[in-house]
Amino acid sequence: MSPSAIAIVRVQAFPGQGSALGAHLNELLDQVRQQPGCQSGEVRALAADRWQVQTRWASQADLEAHLSGSKAQQWLGRLGCGELAQGLEFESRSAD
């Protein structure tokens, strides 16, 4: 069995949009948790205008399938160039 994977996305809000971005990320996370292979996820404020979303996946293949899907591309696109966020950082690693 392949090791589980962790994905971490850090998002920087535009000035004054920190609370709205946090609410938006929580809504997105509710949808991500329903994706095949997603075992858990959490949103955490790093600062008033900086957020982190961490998800755990049953395998690296599940994470890759999620990331290559149209829903994930749409969500990441909205975060990377939307009205709430001015940029994001992404990393993934083995959880085991």
Q: How do the pLDDT tens digits run along the chain, 96 residues long?
A: 578 999 999 999 999 999 999 999 999 999 999 999 999 999 999 999 999 999 999 999 999 999 898 888 777 777 766 678 888 888 988 877
Q: How far from chain centre, in Å, is Cα 80?
A: 11
The pLDDT assigned to 81 comes to 63
Domain ranges in the chain are 5-94
The pLDDT assigned to 1 comes to 56
Q: Give the type of residue at 80.
A: G
The pLDDT assigned to 87 comes to 84
The pLDDT assigned to 52 comes to 97
CATH domain 5-94 topology: Alpha-Beta Plaits (3.30.70)
On whether the CB atoms of residues 61 and 69 are closer than 8 A, the answer is no
